[in-house]
């Protein structure tokens, strides 16, 4: 499963798994309280809902379910679900209570009947329902056989299931989502991932005109018309491989879906039918998706020898599927925006995200499905491992350095923050709140992204061959079962007996970002580097940290020692390189070989700031490791931009940067995508990541703009000539090649050149750049280049007014002619990011803007808060504060999103911080105010803030007259539409 927040522009809006209790008034089977039943106290303890779950408490169930037969009959007012499950006692079970416990949401499931063979089970005597558990007495299970077949008949109404878990109805479609415990909202079952059963028969029946599409996991073995009702049809699916119930899926859809099919031939010669379904009203296509699926299938065969195992691979796209994407065995379900694309309206960044997401869900077929997890504590075993696999896939198709850079940026922006929090958890937590079976605390950037880094380190330590051998053994040992991180570690260790991995296992259980300090010096032909490690707040733990290093000749720039992995296991270790023929410059932590913070020791060789920056410039020019080359350039640029903010003398630093930029322009070693990132300036977001206080956002914006302009002035002829060299290659791209990785890479590099040219502010240069951007738009072979032409031209100086006005009109016409709401949203977004407040205010009043449309709102209003020049003013803050107060009545979620912009006041200079706190105070006096907004504002404001002025926070009955008067005064003010 890949949450939307993990892939869409790195938005952190993790979906909650909490249950809703929405069905009332339905006839229920009345069950006596547990205390009055015949069950023992031990049994009562088993069904008592736990507040906290602990990994150490794992126990196998008393009974296994091995075979499942399901039948679904869909009617307008209800759905009838019949399940037959084969049960046998667990021979390894040694608990005092051996009753069968099945999970089931008793608010959603109307139990019609329960039987074993010819015997109908009797409430209280044979079974008890309580606390979302169905408990069957062991004495009722087995009569003359070691196995029993339990039949459960359920009636439920998917239309009333509003939380999108289990079986629900939305937008004319019946759909399922069962991870982590959604199956218990469909029928009673041991809803735990270690119970892998074979779903040998799934029968789906529905009205054939209303719902012609009937889909489930596995292979379609039969279909036809219902014999006694010709208006209805049915299908039967068989999934021959065992799986946990969270991977079950079915989709019942109407005529409003397109279908696209293709065939993939596996390495062994088997033919796999690939089917993709998506809504007809979506003006998007599946060509890119189907090609990505086939590429992922081929890559998994070639890289790990893992072949797809069924006759059919099906994907359904639905816009309502807010979870992101789910890897149900053989029937993946996606949010439409994460799989459907079209060059006429999809940016290259979105293609990157879609490619990664499709690959991720396919790779789960083995890492997560064929071999699943024993329990949810092991969540990183399927998600972290699969994130690593999808990163390697996108790397191997031609985006190696770019993929690594983006992965590390996301890790630092999200996971390092989690690791620094008081609530931090290791990648495999020891406990979590299990009251609502919630995975919120587990499905985090830590389990996904730090988990991926841990699995990457196995490969770094063991080499490519050693890692593949370990993967093969892991899959062989645990196919069809739930595994643990310990099982994975043992497979790696057993496959590589010459490598001591005993200490590496600690990565699973230790939280926090390790700090590795280094000191280095060279005497004649020997180079020495000392490394030490520490985890903040944990002085005792010593991890096995692979630190990749290379040495570059200081005179020639040639690599004299290729990438070598130093295995840091002690508190401090010394590593020596001998027989060197000259002075060297080290490149440390190549390819970001471990998820750590690297810093020099206090006793490091005493380099002046200028000497240290000469080393950075050297690495930015000559390092053969693409990641470290980019890292060195970003560090230099960041220092330079902040020196501009502080008004420091910058000439020497500027010369080093220009020298490095020039060398990288000439260097043809790296692919265009990597080169594009190496030449790019850090974003404002990246620049502020480590700022804790006294930030002046306007000065930072101006400094970054000045730095870009200075680079552009120096290399204007180079940028223009290289732009012109790439243009015929890009313009002549065939339709079939537009979305390929090499084409996207070429566009990325040419667009970097265009962005620099559009930063020029001399009138003659502005005229050239404005005309070039318009031509870039007109000759674009895809939407990506149209969008970036608009974006860069919109950011130009006032001298480009005429070209800007023409571009705004062109892009608006494109949006209207295409009829795609996303293009119109980008029209709003680019203006919000670059224009004055008056223009943004005017846009809120045009008919195309609908404040109740979340896409419109975020594109214009939320984007405006990223416009440093216009947002960070008294009027800019007041504009957003007024909107928060208006939106809280309509959408508290959007109001809170905006309020969070003011909640960051502690990092800003006093003049900005004071204005932000004033707006927060005004918001706190709103009446009425939503609980979520009130909580957000209360946490952000200092204690007792504003009380000295006679105002009252939190508009209850004691609200001040002044606040009420202000409220009344604004009542007649017109808001946006």
CB 275 within 8 A of CB 259: yes
Which residues neighbour 703 within 8 Å (Cβ) at sequence distance 6 or greater?
641, 642, 644, 645
CB 832 within 8 A of CB 959: no
Q: How far apart are CA 420 and CA 431, in angstroms?
A: 19
Q: Is 361 a catalytic site residue?
A: yes
Residue 568: name the closest of 546, 587, 590 by CA. Answer: 546
Which residues neighbour 972 within 8 Å (Cβ) at sequence distance 6 or greater?
none
Q: How far apart are CA 258 and CA 422, in angstroms?
A: 48
For residue 141, give both structure tokens.
Answer: 């299970």
946: left (phi over 0), alpha (psi -120 to 50) or beta: left
Between strands 597-600 and 515-523, the pairing is parallel
DSSP for 773-801 reads HHHHHHT-SSHHHHHHHHHHHHTS-GGGH
Which residues neighbour 896 within 8 Å (Cβ) at sequence distance 6 or greater?
932, 933, 936
Active-site position among 355, 361, 378, 755: 361
Q: How far apart are CA 921 and CA 454, in angstroms?
A: 44
CB 899 within 8 A of CB 936: yes
Only one residue has tokens 């010394």, namely 574
CB 252 within 8 A of CB 206: yes
To the nearest 10 degrees (0 to 180), the angle between helices 763-778 and 783-794 is 160
Burial of 776 (0-12, 13-18, 19+ CB in 10 A): buried
CB 76 within 8 A of CB 117: no
Which residues neighbour 745 within 8 Å (Cβ) at sequence distance 6 or greater?
398, 399, 402, 671, 672, 673, 676
Q: How far apart are CA 187 and CA 81, in angstroms?
A: 7
Q: How far apart are CA 794 and CA 804, in angstroms?
A: 6
Q: How far apart are CA 470 and CA 476, in angstroms?
A: 10
Which residues neighbour 74 within 8 Å (Cβ) at sequence distance 6 or greater?
174, 204, 205, 206, 207, 211, 252
Residue 884: name the closest of 910, 904, 865 by CA. Answer: 865
Only one residue has tokens 């930030």, namely 695
Burial of 928 (0-12, 13-18, 19+ CB in 10 A): exposed
CB 189 within 8 A of CB 124: no
DSSP 535: B
Q: How far apart are CA 499 and CA 507, in angstroms?
A: 17
For residue 764, give both structure tokens.
Answer: 């003659």
Residue 208: name the closest of 190, 227, 226 by CA. Answer: 226
CB 750 within 8 A of CB 758: no
Q: Which residues pair with 238 in a beta bridge?
A: 219
Task: List, by residue number, the catalytic residues.
Answer: 361
């Amino acid at each position: 499963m890949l949450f939307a927040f993990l892939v869409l522009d790195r938005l952190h809006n993790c979906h909650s798994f909490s249950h809703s209790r929405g069905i009332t008034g339905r006839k229920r089977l009345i069950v006596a309280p547990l205390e009055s039943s015949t069950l023992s106290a031990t049994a009562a303890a088993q069904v008592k809902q736990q507040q906290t779950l602990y990994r150490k408490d794992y126990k196998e169930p008393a009974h296994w379910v091995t075979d499942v037969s399901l039948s679904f009959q869909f009617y307008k007012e209800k759905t009838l679900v019949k399940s037959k499950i084969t049960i046998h006692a667990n021979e390894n079970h040694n608990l005092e209570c051996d009753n069968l416990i099945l999970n089931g949401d008793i608010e959603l499931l109307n139990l019609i009947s329960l039987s074993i063979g010819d015997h109908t089970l009797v409430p209280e005597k044979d079974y008890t329902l309580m606390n979302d558990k169905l408990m069957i007495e062991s004495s009722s299970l087995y009569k003359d056989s070691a196995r029993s077949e339990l039949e459960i008949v359920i009636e439920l109404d998917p239309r009333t299931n509003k939380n999108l878990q289990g079986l629900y109805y939305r937008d004319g479609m019946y759909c399922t989502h069962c991870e982590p415990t959604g199956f218990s909202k469909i029928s009673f079952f041991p809803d735990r991932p270690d119970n892998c059963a074979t779903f040998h028969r799934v029968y789906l029946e529905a009205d054939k005109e209303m719902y012609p599409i009937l889909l489930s996991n596995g292979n379609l073995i039969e279909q036809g018309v219902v014999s006694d009702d010709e208006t209805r049809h049915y299908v039967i699916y068989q999934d021959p491989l065992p799986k946990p119930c969270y991977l079950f899926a079915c989709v019942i859809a109407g005529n409003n879906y397109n279908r696209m099919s293709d065939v993939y031939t596996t390495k062994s010669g088997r033919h796999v039918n690939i089917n993709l379904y998506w809504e007809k009203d979506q003006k998007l296509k599946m060509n890119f998706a189907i090609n990505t699926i086939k590429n992922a299938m081929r890559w998994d065969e070639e890289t790990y020898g893992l072949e797809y195992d069924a006759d059919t691979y099906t994907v359904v796209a639905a816009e309502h599927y807010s979870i992101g994407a789910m890897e149900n065995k053989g029937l993946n379900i996606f949010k439409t925006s994460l799989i459907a694309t079209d060059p006429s309206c999809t940016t290259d960044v979105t293609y990157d995200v879609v490619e990664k997401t499709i690959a991720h869900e396919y790779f789960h077929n083995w890492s997560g499905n064929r071999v699943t997890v024993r329990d949810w504590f092991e969540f990183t075993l399927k998600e972290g491992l699969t994130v690593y696999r999808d990163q390697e896939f996108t790397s191997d198709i031609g985006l190696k350095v770019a993929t690594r850079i983006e992965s590390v940026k996301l890790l630092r922006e999200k996971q390092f923050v989690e690791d620094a929090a008081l609530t931090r958890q290791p990648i495999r937590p020891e406990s979590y709140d299990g009251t609502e079976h919630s995975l919120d605390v587990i499905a985090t950037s830590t389990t996904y992204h730090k988990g991926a880094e841990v699995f990457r380190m196995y490969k770094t330590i063991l080499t490519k061959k050693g890692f593949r051998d370990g993967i093969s053994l892991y899959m062989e040992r645990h196919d069809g079962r739930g595994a643990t991180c310990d099982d994975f570690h043992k497979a790696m260790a057993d496959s590589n007996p010459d490598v001591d991995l005993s200490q590496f296992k600690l990565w699973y259980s230790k939280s926090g970002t390790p700090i590795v300090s280094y000191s280095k010096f060279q005497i004649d032909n020997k180079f020495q580097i000392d490394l030490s490690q520490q985890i903040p707040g944990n002085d005792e733990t010593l991890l096995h940290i692979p630190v990749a290093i290379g040495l570059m000749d200081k005179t020639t720039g040639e690599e004299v020692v290729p990438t070598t992995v130093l295995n840091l296991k002690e508190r401090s270790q010394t590593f020596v390189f001998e027989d060197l023929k000259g002075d060297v410059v080290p490149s440390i932590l190549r390819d970001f070989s471990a998820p750590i913070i690297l810093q020099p020791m206090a006793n490091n060789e005493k380099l002046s700031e200028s000497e240290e920056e000469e080393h950075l410039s050297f690495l930015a020019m000559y390092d053969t490791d693409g990641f470290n080359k980019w890292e060195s350039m970003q560090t230099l640029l960041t220092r330079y931009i902040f020196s501009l903010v502080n008004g420091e003398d910058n000439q020497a630093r500027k010369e080093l940067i220009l020298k490095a930029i020039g060398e990288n322009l000439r260097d043809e070693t790296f692919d265009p995508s990597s080169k594009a990132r190496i030449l790019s300036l850090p974003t404002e977001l990246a620049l502020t990541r480590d700022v804790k206080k006294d930030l002046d956002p306007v000065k930072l914006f101006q400094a970054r703009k000045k730095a870009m302009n200075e680079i552009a002035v120096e290399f204007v002829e180079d940028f223009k000539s290289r732009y012109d060299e790439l243009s015929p290659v890009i313009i002549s791209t065939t339709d079939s090649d537009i979305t390929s990785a090499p084409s996207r890479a070429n566009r990325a590099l040419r667009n970097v050149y265009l962005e620099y040219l559009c930063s020029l502010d001399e009138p003659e240069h502005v005229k050239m750049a404005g005309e070039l951007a318009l031509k870039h738009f007109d000759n674009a072979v895809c939407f990506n280049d149209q969008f970036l032409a608009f974006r860069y031209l919109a950011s130009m100086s006032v001298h480009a007014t005429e070209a800007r006005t023409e571009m705004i009109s062109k892009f608006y016409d494109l949006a209207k002619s295409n009829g795609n709401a996303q293009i119109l949203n980008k029209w709003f977004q680019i203006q919000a990011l670059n224009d004055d407040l008056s223009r943004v205010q005017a846009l809120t009043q045009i008919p195309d803007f609908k404040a109740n449309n979340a896409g419109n709102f975020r594109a214009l209003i939320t984007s405006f808060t990223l416009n440093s020049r216009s947002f960070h003013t008294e009027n800019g803050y007041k504009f957003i504060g007024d909107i928060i107060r208006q939106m809280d009545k309509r959408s508290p979620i959007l109001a809170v999103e905006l309020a969070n912009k003011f909640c960051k006041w502690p990092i800003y200079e006093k003049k900005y911080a004071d204005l932000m706190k004033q707006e927060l105070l005004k918001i706190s006096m709103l009446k009425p105010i939503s609980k979520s907004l009130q909580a957000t504002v209360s946490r952000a404001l200092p204690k007792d803030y504003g009380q000295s002025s006679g105002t009252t926070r939190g508009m209850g009955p004691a609200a001040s007259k002044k606040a009420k008067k202000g409220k009344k005064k604004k009542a007649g003010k017109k808001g946006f539409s």
